[in-house]
Structure 1
Amino acid sequence: MHDESELLALRALAWLVGNDELLPVFLGATGAGEADLRARAAEPEFLASVLDFLLMDDAWVIAFCTAEGLPGEALLRARAALPGGADPHWT
């Protein structure tokens, strides 16, 4: 499941990079630069941050899942399998 989750997160990163409106929001929110996207794409923690970002807005989840032909809960399941995904969120 872990490998599948990383692959889905890579798909999410690719989708995010192709989204001209959302990519600058991600970069601004995370402090990452475009070079970080390439350099850190293999790091499970960075991929988890991509999913955390997308999961902040239902519209982003729906847009990604629709574009990728995935069920709406796919991002949440993938996030749970990546580092920090089992941690409770009290917000």
Structure 2
Amino acid sequence: MAQTVTELRNEIRVAVGRFEREESAPFTKEDLAAICDAVGYEIDTSGRLPPKAEMRAGILWKVGVLEDDNPEEVSSSFRKDELEAIETAVQ
């Protein structure tokens, strides 16, 4: 049976050391920072975290979905196929 978007998000959260959510919820900046670390996308964590779009673009670039880490090329949340690629990368 195919996984739902919520199930994929939770599997990714657990794989990067974050907590599952009972309800469907988009990734927080902290979730995205943990995913960046897991896929090897370097971000500056000494101050404020970068914008979500920047982190989403970097993650998708590192897992091979995008050709570069341009934030203008990403939507406001991950699509299911993108989540599947991220889940594969962090497992």
With normalisation by structure 1, the TM-score equals: 0.37
Q: Greater RCO between the two (CA within 8 Å, min separation 6)? A: 1
More helix by share: 1
